[in-house]
Amino acid sequence: MPNQARVVLIGPPASGKTKVGKQLAKKLGCEFVDTDAVIVAGHGPITDLFATYGEQHFRDVEREVVAHALTHDAVVSLGGGAVVTEATRKALGDYRVVLLSISEDAVKHRVADSPKRPLLAGGIDAWKALVESRREWYNECADLTVDVSHRAPEDVAAEIIKWLGGGKSE
């Protein structure tokens, strides 16, 4: 599938999309694109974007970055809130999308003090509210849901590879 994402990872903040995505790209022998990292590289810290311009501006930037990332022969990891944008949800209909879900117990230590995650200032309670508010969109976009709670990124990547039908032989 040249010039098109091989698989897209979505899910709540701190669900391990970047770690799993890197493992997956390595196993598939392709590039890894983390849209949050692309945004930070081009526009500065996400917290600064939120503070200076607001969430809507950030979502507009994110939508453009996601649209561009989907044109790469890559594993693409989206920010936890990318699915709130209708244009992004529609675009994902053309791709194989994996939702990484994680339990509250498994994620609570990751979101305790998240200065890099502006929407999680309230810790685990903010995380739970955020996940619940996006649940319908996550489910709408996902072709496969994988629970990553207390699992190694390598094991999650192997499960996704199996679902995709194989990967690069090693």
* pLDDT per position as a tens digit, 123-156: 778 888 889 999 999 999 999 999 999 999 999 9
Query: Would you list the domain boundaries of the chain?
Result: 7-163
pLDDT of residue 113: 55
- pLDDT tops 70 at residue 59: yes
Q: How far are the Cα atoms of 10, 54, 138 from residue 100, in angstroms, in the given order?
A: 6, 27, 9
The larger pLDDT score, comparing residue 170 to residue 15, is at: 15
Going by pLDDT thresholds of 50, 70 and 90, the confidence category of residue 166 is low
Per-residue tokens: 29: 């022998």
Q: Please provide the CATH number assigned to the domain covering 7-163.
A: 3.40.50.300
